Structure 1
């Protein structure tokens, strides 16, 4: 195998571009799927941008929770924008060519932002744990300096967890075929196409992916387990019902995200399952980012009040502007 690769290197037959296969079975209904995914993408972006805007504009939301949620929403916007426009192009025009450099750049950004999202989810879980289970210590622990350090740590850990395996894979040799059975450039399909020996790189990647997913999952389970115990001891049945409703919604999102990522990344190389990964990746890149704004923020009464106040202020400014224009003296 190594001699074949060396011979291919000498012949200069290295792959310079890849073809993203997308969803061949659904290509007949490309226009319909394009419209559905475009609307879902726009709704997700709108919801996350709305969270960021409201959190920055309303002083009542200048709290650690909404600081983390704003960062989470910003990363989610970048995360889905890394791959969904590519999918929309595939639905419109069929197979999509992407250069070698662009493909690995997309894979790096996607995986980096994805890892950062999981670290931010762990931080959000810890924030809720401290706020509900340790309310007296919460203001002291979650000061502005701690919040900034936690977000910075999430970004740095996300970068460190992916930069080495992606860099190593990008330096391996690709001699063909160049068709990626996916709708974006991901680690597994790229490793499957490499003509070099990638066993060590794949083992390293799966180990790092397992560490990221399992450590953040442990933190989330610890936080929500303690939150549930605290909720059970609440004196009011109405408060318990409302708290359990919120927690169950959060746990639904966590289950979708962790379930899809464990299915895709925490397993050995299996080329036969690459087709199933597309469906799981679609859940991870389309469904959960669409649910997150609704579940984490837009169901919150504080956000509802902030939105109502923002709409009222906008209407008042429009009314005052119209009144001044109509009452201006004419000569």
Structure 2
């Protein structure tokens, strides 16, 4: 492996730089990042425990929510501990294999999360447009099958990435101007032709996140059409209320996802720290916000949380 002036660069390790230009404030930036990560851990673990303990919540929507919470936990845990180690101890070194693994896990889980949002949208569509057939269509075996299909899609479509990147010559530098290993960041370090790899990555992105988002929009068009056919205003509002949490988490997920994706590939005039902040928001904020949205806007989960907290308070009294 050779540098741009012909000298060999050791490819066994990369150096994560963090946020270029803001190195002096890394310690301060780590505080909100660490708090957001802690809230994401607590919120998603609480969501998983509550749904597992309450048999009344063993319905397709909440089972898909459990799958989403699990993916959120793994995705942010893959990136954030190394980020905090970099910010706190200036430990930016990461092995080449570790870098490829981190990149693969983050991107494959992001693809899975998009698939879970689509599955949740389909659940809302069936529940509102075909309520009498909901339990017959979305049985537990179907839910498990859909979850497995989403996981396999994320793994199979993203698994070529580390193998393609492994074959590239990295002869410019081993310094990564980012807080974690990202596909486009690694591609930009290569000193070989990468048009085919970029085209594959772009195609996968459009066939997963892009197509999922379009299908979610289609499902909500059908849902709105069914809702506005309801006879009373109260019935329309009540029915739409069941979709409120899902719509909110979709916006929280796809807004930073599309911004990060588009700026990485087409936003050449945007400063690097904006790219990196967008990528970290995409990793950190949805896992933190999703349990809060469902806890606040979903009555059944909110009741279970309050019941759980009340039982803890009673135990403390006795």
Displacement, 1:242? 5.2
- Alpha carbons 2:120, 2:246 under 8 Å: kept: no
- Alpha carbons 2:9, 2:174 under 8 Å: kept: no
Q: Structure 1 pair 168/232, CA: closer, same or farther in 2 (3 Å)?
A: same
Q: Work out whether 1:85 is the aligned partner of 2:81.
A: yes
- Alpha carbons 1:14, 1:175 under 8 Å: kept: no
Unaligned runs of 5+ in 2: none
**Is the deviation greater in 79-88 or in 154-163?**
79-88
- Alpha carbons 1:14, 1:173 under 8 Å: kept: no
**Is the deviation greater in 307-316 or in 141-150?**
307-316
Displacement, 1:278? 1.2
Task: Provide the residue aligned with 2:297 in structure 1.
Answer: 299
**Secondary structure, aligned partner of 1:193:** coil
Task: Provide the residue aligned with 1:24 in structure 2.
Answer: 20
Q: Work out whether 1:177 is the aligned partner of 2:140.
A: no
Displacement, 1:228? 2.3
Q: Structure 1 pair 13/84, CA: closer, same or farther in 2 (3 Å)?
A: closer
The structure with higher relative contact order (CA 8 Å, sep 6+) is: 2
User: TM-score of the superposition, structure 2-length normalised?
Assistant: 0.89
Task: Provide the residue aligned with 2:206 in structure 1.
Answer: 210
**Is the deviation greater in 147-156 or in 208-217?**
208-217
Q: Structure 1 pair 47/284, CA: closer, same or farther in 2 (3 Å)?
A: same
Q: Structure 1 pair 101/249, CA: closer, same or farther in 2 (3 Å)?
A: same
**Secondary structure, aligned partner of 1:136:** helix
**Secondary structure, aligned partner of 2:173:** coil
User: TM-score of the superposition, structure 1-length normalised?
Assistant: 0.86
Distance between the aligned counterparts of 2:171 and 2:10, measured in 1?
Answer: 5
Distance between the aligned counterparts of 1:173 and 1:96, measured in 2?
Answer: 21
**Secondary structure, aligned partner of 2:93:** strand
Alignment of 1:161-200 (within 5 A): 161-200=157-196
Distance between the aligned counterparts of 2:181 and 2:36, measured in 1?
Answer: 21
Aligned residue pairs, count:
315
Task: Provide the residue aligned with 1:233 in structure 2.
Answer: 229
Q: Structure 1 pair 253/244, CA: closer, same or farther in 2 (3 Å)?
A: same
Residue of 280, 283, 286 corresponding to 1:285 = 283
Distance between the aligned counterparts of 2:246 and 2:61, measured in 1?
Answer: 14
- Alpha carbons 1:27, 1:94 under 8 Å: kept: no
Task: Provide the residue aligned with 2:255 in structure 1.
Answer: 259
Q: Structure 1 pair 200/243, CA: closer, same or farther in 2 (3 Å)?
A: same
Distance between the aligned counterparts of 2:271 and 2:156, measured in 1?
Answer: 26
CA RMSD across the alignment: 2.6
**Secondary structure, aligned partner of 2:26:** helix
Distance between the aligned counterparts of 1:274 and 1:148, measured in 2?
Answer: 43
Q: Work out whether 1:222 is the aligned partner of 2:214.
A: no
Q: Work out whether 1:70 is the aligned partner of 2:77.
A: no
Alignment of 1:8-23 (within 5 A): 13-23=9-19
Task: Provide the residue aligned with 2:103 in structure 1.
Answer: 107
Alignment of 1:114-193 (within 5 A): 114-193=110-189
Distance between the aligned counterparts of 2:26 and 2:40, measured in 1?
Answer: 21
Displacement, 1:180? 1.2
Displacement, 1:93? 2.8
Cα shift readout 1:51-108 (whole Å, capped 9, x = no counterpart): 1100000111111111111111011110111111222222213461111111111001
Distance between the aligned counterparts of 2:151 and 2:59, measured in 1?
Answer: 20
- Alpha carbons 2:184, 2:265 under 8 Å: kept: no
Distance between the aligned counterparts of 2:61 and 2:259, measured in 1?
Answer: 30
Displacement, 1:238? 4.2
